[in-house]
Amino acid sequence: MPFGNFNSNYNGNGNSYDYDITRGKAMTREGLSDFFRGVFTWMTLGLAITGFISYLVAADKPVVFYLYTHVMLFYVLIGLQLAAVLGLSFGINRLPADVSEAIFLVYSALTGVTFSFIFLVYTNQSIEEVFFLTAASFGILAFMGYVTKRDLTEMGNFMMVGLFAIIIAMVVNFFLHSSTLMYVVSVLGVVIFLGLTAYDMQKLKQIYLSGSFDTRKETVMGALTLYLDFINLFLMLLSIFGGEKRR
């Protein structure tokens, strides 16, 4: 299942995504709007694929039974998701735009398969309610990150440290099975992914205004960045507010 913001190396500091601002053309406000329209179109498409696939898998009892009685297959799917994210994050310069877009769509579908468990654990009503809560909070922080004049780089770096901390805590809790620790991690996770949402929006805006050698690649990487923020925020909120099905 997805976790983490591994494509954070995609930034304007010359790391994973190598764009040259000296040959970047001046970007108009209309161009910036078109860019974010493309980013959110791809992000929405990814979320739609994830939701559709997860619902279909959860509705097919034999498939669900096979998937969750073959633990190694489940971990293989998670490994493929991780490979897709890392492949896009660190190989974006070498990958054709068509391949990058295809990987994003495949990743969204794989996430849908591993996400199917939420329909088995939580009620449909609570999933819908948490989804709209996620959309509202994500939208507010994304807007704040877009319009703020304050440099969010320091906050973003702090949030990344917090992200690795909760990943470690979740690994530890895999052995401890502590509901208290899981609750604390979920609350901290909400704060962290809300902060990353604002930071990533500002980062994407700065990258675009600096200029890029391939807008299609920039768009799909932006979509992946915000997609990861959204679904991880959703998981954290679901862990806190989701109503579990009666056993």
**Predicted local confidence at residue 42, as pLDDT:** 97
pLDDT bin (cut points 50, 70, 90) of residue 213 is low
Give bridge partners of residue 244 from the DSSP assignment.
122
| Average of per-residue pLDDT across 155-160 | 95
Q: Which residue has the higher pLDDT, 218 or 188?
A: 188
Lookup: tokens for 206: 């700065």
pLDDT higher than 60, residue 18: no
Q: Is 247 a domain residue?
A: no
Q: Which residue has the higher pLDDT, 86 or 215?
A: 86
- Number of domains into which the chain is organized: 1
**Predicted local confidence at residue 185, as pLDDT:** 95
Please tell me the least confidently modeled range out of 113-127, 142-156, 185-199.
113-127
Q: Is 15 a domain residue?
A: no
Per the prediction, the chain carries an average pLDDT of 87
Lookup: tokens for 123: 């009620």
pLDDT higher than 80, residue 82: yes
pLDDT higher than 90, residue 99: yes
Tens digit of pLDDT for each residue in 173-207? 888 889 999 999 999 999 999 999 999 999 999 88
**Predicted local confidence at residue 142, as pLDDT:** 97
pLDDT higher than 60, residue 19: no
Query: Which domain does 97 fall in, by range?
Result: 28-241
pLDDT bin (cut points 50, 70, 90) of residue 241 is very high
**Predicted local confidence at residue 50, as pLDDT:** 97
State what percent of residues in the chain have pLDDT above 70.
87
Q: Is 13 a domain residue?
A: no
Q: Is 44 a domain residue?
A: yes
Q: Alpha carbon of 213 to those of 7, 53, 81, 171, 217: distances in Å? A: 18, 34, 27, 39, 9
- Which residues are CB-neighbours of 148 under 8 A, at least 6 positions away? 198, 202
Q: Is 95 a domain residue?
A: yes
State what percent of residues in the chain have pLDDT above 90.
65
Q: Is 19 a domain residue?
A: no
Q: Is 17 a domain residue?
A: no
pLDDT bin (cut points 50, 70, 90) of residue 65 is confident
pLDDT bin (cut points 50, 70, 90) of residue 66 is confident
> For 57-65, which contacts have Cβ atoms below 8 Å and span 24 or more sequence positions?
57/112, 57/113, 57/116, 58/116, 58/117, 58/118, 58/119, 58/120, 59/119, 64/116, 64/120
Q: State the SS3 of the chain.
A: CCCCCHHHHCCCCCCCCCCCCCCCCCCCHHHHHHHHHHHHHHHHHHHHHHHHHHHHHHHCHHHHHHHHHCHHHHHHHHHHHHHHHHHHHHHCCCCCHHHHHHHHHHHHHHHHHHHCHHHHHECHHHHHHHHHHHHHHHHHHHHHHHHCCCCCHHHHHHHHHHHHHHHHHHHHHHHHCCHHHHHHHHHHHHHHHHHHHHHHHHHHHHHHHHCCCCHHHHHHHHHHHHHHHHHHHHHHHHHHHCCECCC
Question: What global pTM score does this model have?
Answer: 0.88
pLDDT bin (cut points 50, 70, 90) of residue 37 is very high
**Predicted local confidence at residue 1, as pLDDT:** 52
144: number of Cβ within 10 Å: 16
Give bridge partners of residue 122 from the DSSP assignment.
244
